[in-house]
């Protein structure tokens, strides 16, 4: 039997259309040869989720995103996402569908299975959540560092302003002078240290002798410890004796003597008695001064004219020289 050409063309066309339909469905995420379950997810935002993005459980792919559309007449413009599962794994009704993003920025839906007595059926709606993206995590980590960096920059800027205000030309010159003085001080200190080393080196023998003397003194003190104890005991006995004395009576007598002395001093100041007249009346002083002066003149005259006062004559002659004031003699010379 001869097959007609038109029949062959029809079969080829049918196969071609079927293949085109299957390919188009496959590209849309639908596999007409696989038994699938469809679940519904509602998100406030999908963060770049696309059709055909994978759906996984514990990292194992069990399906893909089939449709993404806005919910009609929704004032919040929420997004309706449909996923198709190609795996027979049981999905509890409390499962949470979390949108996650990998390091390459590719989004996926991760089903976090939660304990439940019932399993989700095709067409059921699951709970949803958004995982923190890498960018958000980085932003959360960087935000405190950014704030600290900004504060640090502000502090550095304030410090630089302060430096500019403090380290002006006059201050820099003053610092240079200060460093010069410090250098001079260090040099002087170094010289002083050298001199001290030389002094110590030169006085080593003296120091050794001094230490030896101290050791000798210590030995003497140790050997005379008994005598020192006796001296201390004697001082203790003396202290006890002083304590036993009638100190109050002694001080009363001293006080009485001071009162009498004060009365005598008052009388002298008032010119009473011989001592008072001697201290306060200058007549006696003047007379004593005149007598002293006359005595001095007499001695000078005896020295100049001894014959006038001591007459030695073999023939009994008489000195007829008149008295001459020694001061007049000095003036004539």
Domain ranges of the chain: 1-33, 36-137, 151-197, 203-245
Specify the 3-state DSSP secondary structure of 96: strand
Cβ-based neighbours of 203, under 8 Å, separated by 6 or more? none
The rounded distance, in Å, linking the Cα atoms of 61 and 48 is 19
Confidence band, pLDDT 50/70/90 cuts, at residue 35: low
CB 99, CB 43: distance < 8 Å: yes
Half-sphere exposure of 141 (CA within 13 A, CB side): 6
End-to-end alpha carbon distance in the chain:
198
**Mean pLDDT, rounded, of the chain:** 79
Confidence band, pLDDT 50/70/90 cuts, at residue 70: very high
Confidence band, pLDDT 50/70/90 cuts, at residue 300: confident
Q: For position 26, what pLDDT does the model report?
A: 64
- Between 211 and 247, residue with greater pLDDT: 211
In the block, which residue shows the tokens 């004559």?
313
Q: For position 61, what pLDDT does the model report?
A: 92
Cβ-based neighbour number of residue 63 at 10 Å: 23
Q: For position 119, what pLDDT does the model report?
A: 92
Write out pLDDT tens, residues 320-331. 555 556 556 555
| Stretch (H or E) spanning 176 | helix 169-202
Write out pLDDT tens, residues 133-184. 666 667 777 778 888 888 888 888 888 877 777 666 677 677 778 888 898 9
Instruction: Give the alpha-carbon dihedral of 164, 169, 173, 176, to 10 degrees.
Output: 40
Of 162-166, 187-191, 218-222, where does the model show the most confidence? 187-191
| Stretch (H or E) spanning 38 | strand 37-43
For residue 194, pLDDT over 60 is answered with yes
Specify the 3-state DSSP secondary structure of 168: coil
Q: For position 325, what pLDDT does the model report?
A: 60
The rounded distance, in Å, linking the Cα atoms of 100 and 196 is 79
For residue 315, pLDDT over 90 is answered with no
Exposure b/e, 140-162, CB count within 10 A at least 16 = b? eeeeeeeeeeeeeeeeeeeeeee
Structure tokens at 284: 């006696």
Structure tokens at 195: 């001199």
Confidence band, pLDDT 50/70/90 cuts, at residue 53: very high
């Amino acid at each position: 039997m001869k097959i007609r050409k038109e029949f062959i063309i029809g079969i080829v066309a049918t196969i071609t259309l079927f293949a085109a339909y299957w390919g188009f469905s496959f590209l849309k995420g639908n596999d007409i040869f696989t038994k699938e379950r469809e679940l519904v997810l509602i998100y406030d935002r999908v963060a770049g989720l696309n059709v055909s993005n994978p759906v996984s459980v514990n990292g194992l792919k069990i399906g893909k995103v089939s449709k993404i559309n806005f919910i009609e007449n929704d004032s919040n413009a929420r997004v309706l996402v449909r996923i198709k599962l190609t795996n027979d794994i049981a999905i509890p009704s409390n499962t949470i569908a979390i949108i996650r993003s990998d390091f390459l920025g590719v989004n996926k839906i991760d089903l976090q299975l939660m304990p439940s007595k019932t399993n989700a059926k095709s067409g059921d709606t699951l709970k949803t959540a958004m995982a923190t993206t890498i960018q958000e995590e980085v932003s959360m980590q960087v935000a405190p560092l950014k704030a600290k960096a900004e504060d640090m920059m502000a502090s550095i800027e304030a410090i630089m302003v302060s430096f500019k205000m403090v380290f002006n030309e006059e201050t820099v010159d003053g610092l240079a002078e200060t460093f010069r003085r410090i250098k001079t001080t260090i040099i002087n200190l170094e010289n002083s240290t050298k001199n001290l080393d030389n002094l110590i080196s030169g006085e080593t023998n003296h120091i050794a002798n001094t230490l030896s003397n101290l050791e000798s003194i210590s030995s003497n003190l140790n050997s005379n410890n008994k005598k020192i104890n006796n001296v201390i005991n004697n001082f203790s006995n003396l202290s006890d004796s002083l304590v036993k004395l009638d100190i109050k009576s002694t001080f009363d007598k001293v006080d009485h003597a001071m009162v009498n002395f004060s009365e005598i001093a008052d009388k002298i100041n008032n010119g009473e008695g011989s001592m008072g007249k001697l201290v306060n009346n200058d007549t006696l002083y003047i007379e004593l001064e005149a007598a002293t002066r006359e005595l001095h003149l007499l001695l000078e005259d005896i020295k100049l004219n001894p014959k006038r006062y001591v007459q030695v004559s073999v023939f009994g002659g008489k000195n007829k020289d008149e008295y001459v004031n020694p001061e007049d003699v000095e003036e004539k010379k």
